[in-house]
Structure 1
Amino acid sequence: MYRDPVYDGATDPTVVRDAVGDWWMFYTQRRATHPAPGDGVAWVHGSRIGVARSLDGLQWTYAGTLEPAASGLALRDGAPPLAVDETHWAPDVIHDGTRWRMFLTEIDGIPARWEGHERRIVEYASDDLRDWTRRGPIPLASDRVIDAAVARCPDGRWRLWYKDEAAGSTTAVAVSDDLESWSLDGVALDGRPHEGPCVFTLAGAWFLLTDEWRGMAVHRSADAVTWERQGDADAVILGEGGPPVDGVQVARHGAVIVTGDDEASLYYFTHPWWDGSELADVEDPSQRRSAVHVARLRVVDGILVAER
């Protein structure tokens, strides 16, 4: 559906529709095909947030990147990103009824290894999806947190789910009455390590998807607080893969936009031409490339099903 025209490394997409019905995609602009800014895993760091726009959610046009500005971040139309001295990952964008809010993972510098670097989730606010005011980091369970997902729950409270790498890469949660002050609310999902939580409501139920690096696990809830896994401990959706020539691989970190009473679209990223080797060690740009795909989600007899 969409490939980043600068680095061919679109990952971690989130999609929203503005007041006039236009579609906006915000994503991690990973440096897949460009010379890496350092050794090791530097190629997955040093990223800006890429932006694409669409009239129908299917045909997308690159719009630029969110670049540092006096108040926070601003959309720099079309042109390649500026020099990067920090890492931006995995935005989640919501509308609170008054304005837009973005919950963004920030990492200082461009690390060449996974471990040993603080990761924090920072809130930004905007009236137009183009100019973003930095509101500051959210105090969470550790300084190794990424991948925010925010939603207002049936009890009227807002919850922020996130990956806590300091707790075995499981999903922790914070809660707020007003999106201004947050308190820790424990662990939402433990067990098998995972990342990229995505929370939404469909057909009268709440669902939480997580990326297990082999497809997405599905959890269901009546209240968005207590979750039960769909199927057994190994069950996932969009876990199919094949030879690189086929361009079909497992779904990774994505986000859902509900399109009807009983139907939604899951925008996710994948490495279509990946051969299954450890991505952190891959030097071949063709293996590093990623693309945004979409799947239709429906609830059938209480079960969430995905169709590529």
Structure 2
Amino acid sequence: MSTLRPFAARSACLLLALSALAGCAVERTAPPAAAGEVAAKPLFRDPVYDGAADPTLIWNPARGRWWMFYTNRRATAPGLPGVTWVHGTRIGIAESPDGGAHWTYVGTADIELPPDLGGKDATHWAPDIVRAADGTFHMFLTVVPGVFEDWKHPRVIVHLTSTDLRTWRHPARVPLANDKVIDPSLARLPDGTWRMWYNNELDHKNTYYADSPDLEHWTDRGLAVAQRGEGPKVFRWHGAWWMIVDVWHGLAVFRSSDALTWRKQDATLLEQPGHGPDDGVMGGHADVVVSGGRAYLFYFVHPGRQGPDAKRDGPEQRRSLIQVSELIEEGGVVRTDRDAPVAIRLDPPV
């Protein structure tokens, strides 16, 4: 027996090694530390109202850190009837000291709006932020001119500028298709001009687009993608343009060679619930950051909307938070494994 035990042990080790090489390991392991810190899960929860949603990320050069701007829904505020809890919000800000793996609350953005756009009573939703060549930051913000119990009210996209990412002034309404538009997403084109994609709620919530030479003057171009959804996000990666749209049963993915003609892939992202902490529901309205050739998907979830109480309307069902997953592209198809540990280190933009 003593001669068989070493052989059995060596055989077991060999089998385990072969299983690992074949991808048969059952437990997930963290990516190498060289890729960055392993991201927290959940990634971020708003400490005030526990309603973080619709994230967008940008590098803050003055702080030397990444900032996340997000819709700050009033999920835990008592006595808010109808959908007033998603109105009356100010844009929240979180900061990462380690390239996106961990986040802490900074506060809310100081956004000034004129009386005709609701003034201090306006609702702030789902911004996108870009930096111009002169260093000025430009925010494109969805604004609802008040607090309402239903969805039957105007919403417009407003342009603001800032030099410090905290104080936003010089609001100007962007002339788009109508007065029910939301969720801007911007990208700079190869010729140096800018393109904005947005959700046109009056046209079956399809995605429209507009062009600008300077972020100040805009020409609406009409329909971009005939896909009912919201929260379009456009980015450049692996030699192609990509658009991700929240279609309420996961995220639809579109690919384009010219940022004009889009082809939809069959598979959606985040439709199936995850298994990690507070990630057991489908994911929604996302941002994508490309860094070092890798693409990271920052999305939000309502973790309380599962089980027998999924359709109740209480603080548990209203609360939302931010998660992150890495995108993988193979043969022109994008996928993600939301349960895999995410080693992340976002670099400052060049």
Range into which the TM-score falls when normalised by the shorter chain:
0.7 to 0.9
**Following the alignment from structure 1 to structure 2, what is the Cα–Cα distance between the partners of residues 246 and 103?**
30
Q: Partner residue of 1:33?
A: 76
Runs of 5+ consecutive residues of structure 1 not aligned to the other structure:
73-82
Q: Is the 8 A contact 2:181 2:198 kept in 1?
A: yes
Counterpart residue identity of residue 284, structure 2: R
Cα pair 2:279 2:301 within 8 Å, conserved: no
The 1:246–1:264 alpha-carbon spacing in structure 2 relative to 1, beyond 3 Å, is closer
Corresponding residue for residue 296 of structure 1: 326
Q: Match for residue 238 of structure 1?
A: 270
Structure 1 segments (4+ residues) deviating >6 Å: 242-246, 276-279
* Residues in 2 aligned to 1:40 and 1:93: alpha-carbon distance in whole angstroms: 30
User: Paired residue for 1:216, among 240, 244, 251?
Assistant: 251
- C-alpha contact (below 8 Å) 2:46/2:72 kept by paired residues: yes
Post-superposition shift, 1:86? 1.8
The percentage of aligned residue pairs carrying the same residue is 46
If asked which structure has higher relative contact order (CA below 8 Å, sep 6+), I would say 2
The code of the aligned residue for 2:141 comes to L
Deviation sequence 1:112-157 (CA, Å, 0-9, x none):
0012x11000011111111112331100001000000011123433
Matches within 5 A, 1:167-178: 167-178=203-214
Q: Give the TM-score of the pair, scaled to structure 1.
A: 0.88
Given that 1:154 and 1:223 are in contact with CA atoms closer than 8 Å, whether structure 2 keeps it comes out as: no
Give per-residue Cα distances to partners, 1:239-273, cap 9 Å, x unaligned. 11279997421110011111122x11111111122
User: 1: distance between equivalents of 2:259 and 2:250?
Assistant: 22
Distance 2:149 2:327 in 1: 37
What CA distance in whole angstroms lies between the structure 1 residues aligned with 2:220 and 2:123? 25
1:272 aligned residue (277, 289, 303): 303
2:101 paired with 1:62: no
Q: Is the 8 A contact 2:59 2:66 kept in 1?
A: yes
Q: Which moved more, 1:263-272 or 1:63-72?
A: 63-72
Alignment RMSD? 2.4
- Whether 2:295 is the aligned partner of 1:252: answer no
Q: Cα offset for 1:285?
A: 0.7
Gaps spanning 5+ residues in structure 2: where?
Answer: 1-42, 339-350
From 127, 131, 145, the counterpart of 2:163: 127
Rounded to whole Å, the distance in 1 between the matches of 2:167 and 2:46 is 21
TM-score normalised by length of structure 2: 0.78
CA contact (8 A) 1:71 1:132 kept: no
Structure with greater proportional helix content: 2
> Is residue 139 of structure 1 aligned with residue 169 of structure 2?
no
Contact 1:150/1:158, CA 8 A, preserved across alignment = yes
1:118 maps to which of 139, 154, 165: 154
- Please say if residues 220 and 228 of structure 1, whose CA atoms lie closer than 8 Å, have aligned partners that are also in contact: yes
* Cα shift at 1:71: 9.5
2:109 is paired with a residue whose SS is strand
Query: CA–CA distance in 2 between the matches of 1:86 and 1:69?
Result: 10
Question: Does the 8 A contact of 2:281 with 2:306 survive in 1?
Answer: no
Give 1 or 2 for the bigger CA radius of gyration.
2
Equivalent position SS for 1:88: strand
For residue 70 of structure 1, report the CA deviation from its aligned partner.
8.9
